[in-house]
Every structure is written in C-alpha cells, then in structure tokens.
C-alpha cells in the first residue's frame, strides 16, 4: 500500500494559510504531510516564503493525526546542525511523535543569505555528512563536543529530548547521497521516480526503510488555466536539481526558464481534473519502489478546491489503483 501525502509549499502561501491547508488535508484523509523550508520562492510569481519551523509548530498544535515532515531542511549553512537537532526534538514533542526530520544538502537560492558562499558539490556533501552525524549524536542524548572540518560543537545537550527522536530522512540524487542515506538515514527522500536511486539506497543499507517521493500536480476544472498556472509558478522544476541547486535568486530561475513552454510543463506536471492522469503520474513512483508519495498542488489560492476534490475523487482513485 502506498501512502499519499500533502505538501505545505511555503513558497506559495503565507503562514496562516499553510496551517489552514494542512488542517484541511488531515480532514480530507491524506496519510501524511511534508513542508518545504525556503528563504526565497523559486519564482516571484509564487510570492511567499515564511519560516517553515514556525509554521510546523503551529501545524503540530492545529492537527492531531496527520504526520509532519520537513521536505527538506538544509543543516549546513542557514542553520547550524546543533540548532536543527534542538528544533527537531522540540517539534517531535509538540507533534507527540508525528514528526520526521527530512534533510538535504540545500540550494544556493536559500543558503546564500548568510554570506558564507556556495562551495562545490563535493564540499557540500562533506559538510552535510558531518552535520547529520552531529544531529544523530545529539539525538542519542548526553553532551556532545565536536571539532570537525566544518563545524564546532561545544558541550551541546538537548534538554527536551523525546523518548523516540524524529526519524531522519535524507534526500538523494546520486550514488554518493544514496550511500549516506543508507548508512545514516531512517528513510530516503527523492523528487524523481528513479528506480536506480532506490536500488542504490538499498545496496548501502536502506533495505526495508521507507522511501518518500514528491510529485507536483495542478488541479483545476479548466485544464488550460491549470497549465498556465503551472507554467507561471512551477516551470523552474524543468531545470533539474543539478541546476536548481546552483542558482541564487528567483530572477535567476526566471532567466533560466524563459524558453520553457506551457507544453513542456504540461508534459511533466499533470494538469486538469482527470483523476486517471494523476494516477498515471504517481504510477512511476510506485513501480520504482516508493512507499510514500507527497503531492504538491500548484497555486496557494487553489488549495481549498483541491482538497475538496481530493477527498471526493483523487484519493479514492489513488487508493483504488495502489491499495
């Protein structure tokens, strides 16, 4: 059985609206939720980027059943890993065990704001591995002192630590990150339905652990309007993560995607209100071995209509197809 999730996309809605949306997702019957963690939107047309951890704290109090997860937090530049461990432990307590900490190596778009530059990918992966190790050590309890290549921790200790610390998910895009995820992660995170990522994760120790994917969609009863909205707000998705990780500003994404057409977007993002098209888009994730798929409805002001349609039409269709 594949679980279907809801995405709180911080780039396209304000903080109060995001909490209202996840309350609606819980009522509609989504199995879990995830939250992006940005400082900038991808494109100016998205128009938002509140602090994800404040939103998550409010969501933990406003909901009672639906699991929460960061998708994903970067623990290397904006946030020191010791601080990530503290806020993740706190959120797990607020959510009464419903929180999972999704981590990734980040994007220049969000991390450049602290003025530390944006090193080569190998250095970023090295920093990421060290950061995950620090978070793991703090979740184990006790006092942690660490003097590594990239981070110093001086006698840190989590005074409010849940009995069951949040599981750690690690975002992957290739062999190196899959090896880290298999060794240090409790679950794997990916945004493309590539079976080779799942195989690499399993090969490096991830066998039997959850694997969570994400898929952008654009529901609207007017398919042309859905395609236009997806193009306006989500054409950045066409760049792929090797490009998306490097660009520093929404205007950079606008320039890089200026020749992406509506037809290009409609080929990769299911648009309209035909549930069969959405089922077909989820199927590659299921066939690749993903156990959970979080859907991203494009357009912050379309969430209420999407949630109503999901409860009545989309979720039943997905469950009929995938259990």
Out of 21, 38, 204, 231, the active site residue is 38
d(CA 10, CA 13): 6
Peptide bond into 72 cis (omega under 30): yes
Identify whether 20 is a catalytic site residue: no
E strand residue ranges, the chain: 3-8, 32-35, 68-69, 99-103, 144-147, 152-156, 168-171, 187-190, 211-219, 271-272, 292-297
d(CA 12, CA 16): 12
Check: CB of residue 71 under 8 Å from CB of residue 35: yes
Out of 11, 26, 107, 111, the active site residue is 107
Identify whether 263 is a catalytic site residue: no
Tokens in use for 241?
Answer: 């993560």
Check: CB of residue 73 under 8 Å from CB of residue 39: no
Please, what's the b/e burial string for 271-307 (b: 16 or more CB within 10 A of its CB; e: otherwise)?
bbbebeebbebbbbbbebbbbbbbbbbbbbebbeebb
φ, ψ at 143 (rounded to 5°): -95, 135
Active site residues: 38, 107
């Amino acid at each position: 059985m594949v679980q279907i999730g809801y995405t709180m996309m911080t780039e396209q809605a304000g903080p109060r609206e995001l909490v209202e949306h996840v309350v609606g997702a819980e009522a509609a019957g989504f199995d879990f939720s995830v939250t992006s963690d940005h400082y900038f939107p991808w494109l100016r047309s998205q128009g938002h980027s509140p602090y994800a951890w404040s939103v998550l704290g409010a969501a933990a109090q406003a909901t009672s059943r639906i699991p929460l997860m960061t998708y994903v937090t970067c623990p290397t530049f904006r946030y020191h890993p010791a601080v990530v461990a503290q806020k993740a432990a706190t959120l797990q307590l607020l959510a009464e065990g419903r929180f999972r900490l999704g981590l990734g190596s980040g994007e220049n778009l969000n991390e450049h704001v602290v003025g530390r530059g944006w090193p080569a990918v190998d250095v970023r992966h090295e920093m990421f591995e060290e950061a995950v190790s620090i978070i793991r050590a703090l979740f184990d309890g006790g006092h942690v002192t660490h003097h590594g290549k990239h981070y110093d921790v001086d006698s840190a200790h989590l005074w409010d630590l849940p009995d069951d610390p949040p599981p750690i998910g690690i975002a992957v895009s290739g062999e190196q990150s899959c090896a880290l995820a298999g060794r240090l992660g409790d679950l794997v995170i990916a945004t493309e339905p590539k079976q080779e990522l799942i195989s690499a994760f399993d090969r490096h120790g991830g066998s039997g652990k959850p694997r969570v994917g994400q898929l952008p969609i654009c529901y609207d009863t007017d398919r042309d309007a859905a395609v236009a909205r997806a193009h306006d707000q989500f054409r950045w998705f066409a760049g792929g993560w090797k490009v998306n990780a490097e660009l520093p500003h929404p205007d950079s994404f606008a320039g890089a995607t200026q020749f992406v057409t509506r037809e290009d977007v409609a080929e990769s993002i299911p648009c309209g209100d035909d549930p069969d098209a959405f089922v077909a888009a989820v199927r590659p994730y299921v066939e690749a071995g993903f156990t959970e798929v979080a859907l991203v409805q494009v357009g912050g002001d379309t969430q209420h209509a999407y949630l109503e349609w999901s409860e009545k039409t989309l979720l039943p269709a997905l469950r009929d197809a995938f259990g």
